[in-house]
């Protein structure tokens, strides 16, 4: 059985979503959420906290591969640097966990899930829930983006 961990990178909030195949090109959500770090901690401490939380998610849900969203554009250079560092920690942690990693741009992820590369957050949340059999609305943009990233990997396998 294929189980995919999708990650929407961030250092303050990192979305994750785990999906698994249920046959004939169908996928279902297993778990999703948002891992948050304390803004009162230093960036280094927050990166360490992210690493530890990612390891917990991998240990609990046992994905067979991972999908991580690529960074594309930020208005704030400091935020871009911090998220870039978080993304590096995320990638290395997933590699240390033995996972094969696929990377997709936000455009590719939106295209795979909605058929439209410029879909808005609300559309992504609704489509992720519908395609992955989630009964309740997905309230976190980060979790919906992570589920969408996992789905993008699934349809591109």
List active site positions: 8, 69, 142
Tell me if 8 is assigned to a ligand binding site: yes
Count of all residues that appear for the chain in the document: 157
Tell me if 69 is assigned to a ligand binding site: yes
Dist CA 70 CA 116 (whole Å): 18
Residue with tokens 């995320």: 90
Greatest Cα pair distance, the chain, in angstroms, is 47
111-130: b or e for each residue (b if 16 or more CB lie within 10 Å)? Answer: bbbbeeeebeeeebbbbbbe
1-155-64-137 Cα dihedral, nearest 10 degrees: -90
Residue 141's SS3 state is helix
Dist CA 142 CA 132 (whole Å): 16
Tell me if 100 is assigned to a ligand binding site: no
Residues flagged as binding site for Mg(2+): 8, 69, 142
Residues flagged as binding site: 8, 69, 142
């Amino acid at each position: 059985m294929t189980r995919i961990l999708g990650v929407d990178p961030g250092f303050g909030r990192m979305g994750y979503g785990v999906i698994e195949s249920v046959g004939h090109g169908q996928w279902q959500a297993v778990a999703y959420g948002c891992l948050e770090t304390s803004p009162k901690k230093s960036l280094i401490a927050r990166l360490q906290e992210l690493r530890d939380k990612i390891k917990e998610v991998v240990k609990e849900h046992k994905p067979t591969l991972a999908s991580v969203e690529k960074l594309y554009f930020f208005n704030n250079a400091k935020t871009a640097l911090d998220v870039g560092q978080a993304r590096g920690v995320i990638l290395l942690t997933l590699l240390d966990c033995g996972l094969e990693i696929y990377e997709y741009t936000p455009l590719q992820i939106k295209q795979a899930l909605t058929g439209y590369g410029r879909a808005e957050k609300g559309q992504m949340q609704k489509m992720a829930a519908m395609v992955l059999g989630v009964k309740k609305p997905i309230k976190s943009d980060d979790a919906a983006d992570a589920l969408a990233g996992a789905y993008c990997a699934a349809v591109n396998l």
